[in-house]
Each structure stands twice: as structure tokens, then as C-alpha cells.
Amino acid sequence: MMTDEDCNKRAKAVNIVLSLRDQKSEIQSQIRKFYVPQINFDESDWDELINWNTAVITEPPLTLYLSDEEIKAVTDAPLAVATYPNHTQSVEHCLKVISDASKAVYGYDARDGFIRAINSSRAVKPRFDSKRQFAPLIEQSE
């Protein structure tokens, strides 16, 4: 809602986030658990699909490190989220390592050790950003 073009929706989102900060409930001090809200499909606008008064909501992770003044500024201009990478190549690499670890070993400690071993191994190997950097190594071996 904070990224919406509609000023009223942004103001509503700012009020919700600021009220959540004022409450400082037990839910916010623990690990966030996802609750599926009841959806009202009869509403005409997307921001009214859930009942904000009865839904269990926590502050979005994107706004946790913003000050109150920065959040209040969202009422004037939409929050720019393009600067926050959420689907990058490094995320893909991490998902692959975690998936490989889950296939290879069982248990939290074993997965952790597997991932740490892979990261240690990769830190020792040379890293090439382009094929041009790789070519001198081939010439030296010939």
C-alpha cells in the first residue's frame, strides 16, 4: 500500500505501520509467523480485501529500519522499492546451495556444515567475472 499511487491508500498504510509501532505487541518481538487472513472477495478495491481491524498483522520487513519521519514522508510520495533487490543472481545461488544441501544431508547441523564447506571451498577457488580472465590460466597450462 505504501507504493500505491493513491495518496489515501498510502496514508492508510502509514497509519497502520505507525500504530503497529506504538503497540509493540508480543507478536512483533517473536519470529514472524504468517497467518492467512480472511479474504472478502465482495470488496471493490484491493486494499479492502482483508479486515485490517481483525487480521493479525505485523510491520513489514521493508519498513523495519525506516524512521517514523521516513514513513510519514510516504504520504507525500510513494515508497521506492526498486532500490531493494529481491530477486538477484546471488539469491538464486543461495537457493541452489540450500536445495543441494537439503538433498545431500539430513538435519540442521549437517545442512549447516554442508553449506559452510561449500562456501569455504568456493572462497579458495579463483573467481572469474569474464572469460577473458579465465583465458590466461588456459595458456599457462599449455
pTM: 0.53
- The average pLDDT across 76-87 equals 74
C-alpha 142, offset from chain centre: 47
Q: Are 68 and 21 in contact (CB under 8 A)?
A: yes
Contact in structure between 117 and 110 (CB atoms under 8 Å): no
CA-based radius of gyration for the chain? 23
Plot region of 80 (φ>0 → left; ψ -120 to 50 → alpha; else → beta):
beta
pLDDT of residue 106: 92
Q: What is the pLDDT averaged over residues 101-106?
A: 93
Lowest mean pLDDT among 48-52, 66-70, 103-107: 48-52
Does residue 74 or residue 80 have the better pLDDT?
74
Split at pLDDT 50, 70, 90, the class of 34 is: confident
What is the H or E stretch that residue 137 is in? helix 131-141
More confident residue, 105 or 141: 105
The mean-pLDDT minimum among 34-43, 44-53, 92-101, 133-142 falls in: 133-142
pLDDT at 136: 62
Percentage of the chain lying above the pLDDT 90 cut: 25
